[in-house]
Amino acid sequence: MTIIIQLLVLALIILSTVLVIGIPVTLASPGKWEKSKNLIYTTIGIWVGIIIVTGIINSFIA
């Protein structure tokens, strides 16, 4: 069960890094926001989902 938490946290760190780099680049590029808006919203939704799942699984461990 601990390995699952560690993998979820690793996924959260990787996805957070991608979002921290990707969102400003997308917003700074002319015309990219309209093309990438759905992808960014989907990625943010996945990020929130990972946080919720990690919290729920972590409540069973502690």
Instruction: Give residue 31's region: left, alpha or beta (phi > 0; psi -120 to 50).
Output: left
Q: What whole-number distance in Å separates Cα of residue 49 and Cα of residue 30?
A: 30
pLDDT in tens, 20-56: 999 999 999 998 889 999 999 999 999 999 999 999 9
The CA-CA-CA angle for residues 20, 24, 29, to 5°, reads 145
Q: Which residues of 4-28 are buried (b: 16+ CB within 10 A; e: fewer)?
A: eeeebeeebeebeeeeeeeeeeeee
Question: CATH assignment of 1-59?
Answer: 1.10.287.740
pLDDT value of position 61: 85
Instruction: Inform me whether the pLDDT recorded for 13 exceeds 90.
Output: yes
Instruction: Inform me whether the pLDDT recorded for 62 exceeds 80.
Output: no
In the chain, where the domains are located: 1-59
- Are residues 54 and 8 in contact, defined by beta-carbon separation less than 8 angstroms? yes
